[in-house]
A = this chain, B = another copy of it.
Amino acid sequence: MTLHKDVMLDFARDARTGLDEAVLCASKSVAHLATILDQVKERGRRILLTRLLAEQYELLPQAHRAAIDYEPLSRTGVFGGTHELKTEVQVALVSAGTSDVAVAREAARTLRFYGEAAVEIHDVGVAGLWRLLERIEEIRKHRVVIAVAGMDAALPTVIGGLVSGVVIGVPTSVGYGVASGGHTALNAMLASCSSGLVVTNIDNGFGAACAALRILRSQ
């Protein structure tokens, strides 16, 4: 009862911005999450769940749990099914190290939810430059490159100097000492000398995917 008054989903968002609302789950109580899914179900809508922790997922009502396509590495869930997949692949998802894959996959799952495919190229950090150079022609072919990296986050800078498409940098919280938390990766991307690199919040694969969607749809 009360819980319903704590939630007011923005079902009009799609009409205004072209993107359905998504739900950031980590900071919400399970009771609030269940209420949200109740409302989505009542309306016959679909919704993307981000940062849905395994322990939250486990505690959801069984009916809701069964209706969610849950992927634990990226901690994403799809409720009500994804949008239809487009055939053209216009986004390249590139990550610096295996530790960054979880964030890259959040972006991939978000793109897929809204019907966009992406090619994924992982573990091509610039400390072993040849790995990136071997794949750069493939990367260049995409309109949007989402470059995911933690620690010193030099990857998007190097890519930005090698391709003419849009490069969106996603810093990750991977690392320790001065790297931990991702602030160094974030700042290194913001201070990049590659012209026109744009950046999202730390670990925000979802946001990078949404930016890519805005770009692809803005023609």
Contacts and interface: CB of A to CB of B under 8 A. Distances in A.
A218 B5 CA distance: 28
A47 interface: no
B10 A128 contact: yes
Interface in A64-93: 73
Interface string A155-181: 001101111111110010111111100
B10 A131 contact: yes
A136 B25 CA distance: 27
A115 to B, nearest CB: 15
Interface residues of A, number: 102
Given A17-B160, A199-B200, A151 B8 contact: no
Contacts of A178: 183, 186-187, 190-191, 201-202
B165 A191 contact: no
A211 B198 contact: yes
A215 B215 contact: yes
Contact of A6 (B18, B122, B129): B122
Interface in A87-139: 96-99, 101-102, 120, 122-131
Given A177-B173, A193-B152, A200-B199, A8 B214 contact: no
Contact of A207 (B150, B196, B201): B196
